[in-house]
Chain A
Amino acid sequence: KAGVTQTPRYLIKTRGQQVTLSCSPISGHRSVSWYQQTPGQGLQFLFEYFSETQRNKGNFPGRFSGRQFSNSRSEMNVSTLELGDSALYLCASSLGSWEGDHTDTQYFGPGTRLTVL
């Protein structure tokens, strides 16, 4: 079974631009979560989608948004890029069936390395 894929793998943008990152989950997985990873802050939760609905959101500004399509693929968008947005953006997929499913395990994609100049 193919793993989680993310595109593009590397991206260089300038301040003020916007960017869209894509994530394709493992086949059969309906939940996709997005994380930002920086050396200083570690893995920070951005949001989680299940069946095209955002079920939870982290403490990021509104410049960070996402969506999920009917085939479970997900995109995240960052508008008006800032230098501090430079990070590794990871998506993770899981079955995400129901709250209380203790075994729902996330599997990560390779990440998109975003550099903002």
Chain B
Amino acid sequence: QKEVEQNSGPLSVPEGAIASLNCTYSDRGSQSFFWYRQYSGKSPELIMFIYSNGDKEDGRFTAQLNKASQYVSLLIRDSQPSDSATYLCAVLTGGFKTIFGAGTRLFVKA
């Protein structure tokens, strides 16, 4: 079992729809969870982080964390073509080690 799992996609949504990206992790001791966006040929850029159970909203983005289910998700409301990218879920485990999922490719169709 991989430490951080994501559906590789591609996930295709129409412009204006909600895109839902999911991530599961195996280390129950993990405390912090991050979502990064990576455009083709570019380095990952941070979207947001979450460490408490529940929802955290930042503009069109909402991160959701359920530690009991070891599940974290990212919702993108009013999706735009410019949101088309690979979304990486990252988990900060003990020992200063951040583990990344393989990423989900998102396509937003105009």
Contacts and interface: CB of A to CB of B under 8 A. Distances in A.
Interface in B73-100: 88, 90, 92, 94-100
Interface of B: prevailing SS: strand
A84 interface: no
Nearest to B88: A43
Interface stretch (B9-17, B20-28, B43-51): B43-51
A56 B97 contact: yes
Given A43-B88, A90-B43, A90-B44, A106 B32 contact: no
Contacts of B88: 42-43
Interface stretch (A13-21, A71-79, A107-115): A107-115
Given A90-B44, A109-B43, A103 B96 contact: no
| Best-surrounded residue of A43, A50, A56, A108 (most CB of chain B within 10 A) | A43
A100 B31 contact: yes
A108 B45 CA distance: 7
Nearest to B93: A56
B51 A45 contact: no
Interface in A69-114: 90, 92, 96, 99-100, 102-111
A42 B46 CA distance: 17
Interface string A22-62: 00000000010101000001110100101000011010000
Contacts of A90: 43-44
A42 B43 contact: no
Contacts of B51: 102-103
A92 to B, nearest CB: 8
Nearest to B34: A105
| Best-surrounded residue of B36, B46, B49, B96 (most CB of chain A within 10 A) | B96
15 contacts: A42-B102, A43-B103, A55-B96, A56-B95, A56-B96, A90-B43, A90-B44, A99-B94, A102-B32, A102-B92, A105-B46, A106-B34, A107-B46, A108-B43, A111-B43
